Amino acid sequence: MVIDIHGHYTTAPKAVEEWRKKQIAAIDNPALGLRVSDLQVSDEEIRTSIEANQLKFMNERGVDVTIFSPRASFMAHHIGDFQVSSTWASICNELCYRVTKLFPGRFIGAAMLPQSPGVDPASCLPELTKCVEEYGFVAINLNPDPTGGRWTGLPLTDKSWFPIYEKMVEYDIPAMVHVSSSCNPCFHTTGDYYLNADTTAFMQLLRGDLFSEFPRLRFVIPHGGGAAPYHWGRFRGLAQELGKPLLDKHLMNNIFFDTCVYHQPGINLLHEVISVDNILFASEMIGAVRGIDPTTGFYYDDTRRYIEAANLSAEERSAIYEGNARRVYPRINAILKDAG
């Protein structure tokens, strides 16, 4: 079985984006009076949006299951206040839930949280609880910078995040650390901002001792771990200077990297440097990089090809495709069993 642990609903029906635009317009003009019920999306529209896109590619590429969450760049936690984020998160999560119901066993949900700059992360708990208990979601996306590239918040090791971590441990769910769109002209959302947030999250965790406090807490750092594997020597050396244990012990029982690295040499480096136990198959399809690589003739984000071509044993490949996902996202096991 091949499980892609990183997919977003980037192809939601146009009405969703239109509603969001109106929601944003209403922030400064409440007279516009927008209601959640103004957004109507039929099952048929959802089905089409998935069948023509993600499901088509999954079938072509031999991917059985995708862990599916709301579109990352559209979370835009920096827009509006907590109420704006809360309504938007609720809509986006419900849409993903409907995808999981329409395609049982093919899509499994992961939640966007209603984060908002400067607002206590504990405010996200009701949405998180609903998504796990009512929707059967198996993970959350946690935005380490809800300011959208202003980075005026606090590191992931700050105690303000702990209520979320406690809930994650209680539910035995991991968080994918994932920023949203950049509102900072210095950063390009999917070019550098995503990767930088990955690297920063890794370094925040390296500097801290979060996993002494939460030994069962698990983070997935997407996009191949940002710059971390390429600079693994640097990070090992910095851990040493900071008096931390070896990275294997300090972090690597709790941190996992996905395979959203869009060329063969990058994937080769990833599995050369990082233990196979810490690598989870993912493509972020359909996402940031949608074109065909002229040097290979295949889609950049067809990451399964790179894993197939990598110097891995059948066992290692199976761990990356399935075994690690079942371990890091244990709630998928019951869902996949039910789906047969």
* Contact residues for a second copy, defined by CB under 8 A: 144-145, 149-151, 153-155, 184-188, 190-192, 195-196, 199-200, 202-204, 206-207, 223-224, 226-227, 229-238, 240-241, 261-263, 265-266, 268-269, 272-273, 288-291, 293, 300-301
What is the closest distance, in whole angstroms, from the C-beta atom of residue 12 to a second copy in the complex? 20
> Which residues on neighbouring strands pair with residue 280, listed in sequence order?
258
**Closer residue to a second copy, CB minimum distance, 15 or 273:** 273
d(CA 279, CA 291): 24
**Closer residue to a second copy, CB minimum distance, 30 or 185:** 185
d(CA 28, CA 242): 47
Of 51, 133, 272, 284, catalytic: 284
93: tokens are 């999560």
Q: How far is CA 63 from CA 54, 56, 58, 186, in A?
A: 10, 10, 5, 36
**Closer residue to a second copy, CB minimum distance, 216 or 234:** 234
Count of residues in the chain: 340
What is the closest distance, in whole angstroms, from the C-beta atom of residue 9 to a second copy in the complex? 20
What is the closest distance, in whole angstroms, from the C-beta atom of residue 199 to a second copy in the complex? 5
What is the closest distance, in whole angstroms, from the C-beta atom of residue 129 to a second copy in the complex? 28
What is the closest distance, in whole angstroms, from the C-beta atom of residue 335 to a second copy in the complex? 31
**Closer residue to a second copy, CB minimum distance, 153 or 174:** 153
**Closer residue to a second copy, CB minimum distance, 23 or 182:** 182
Residue 298 CB neighbours (<10 A): 13
**Cβ-based neighbours of 338, under 8 Å, separated by 6 or more:** 104, 105
Active site residue 241: no
Please, are residues 98 and 124 in contact by the beta-carbon 8 Å criterion?
A: no
What is the closest distance, in whole angstroms, from the C-beta atom of residue 47 to a second copy in the complex? 27
d(CA 312, CA 277): 12
Whole-angstrom distance between the N-terminal and C-terminal Cα of the chain? 12
Per DSSP, the three-state class of 66 is strand
d(CA 10, CA 299): 17
One-letter amino acid at 222 equals: P
Residue 1 CB neighbours (<10 A): 13
Please, are residues 287 and 301 in contact by the beta-carbon 8 Å criterion?
A: yes
DSSP-derived secondary structure letter, 246: P
**Closer residue to a second copy, CB minimum distance, 138 or 255:** 255
DSSP-derived secondary structure letter, 300: T
> Which residues on neighbouring strands pair with residue 219, listed in sequence order?
175, 255
**Active-site residue list:** 284
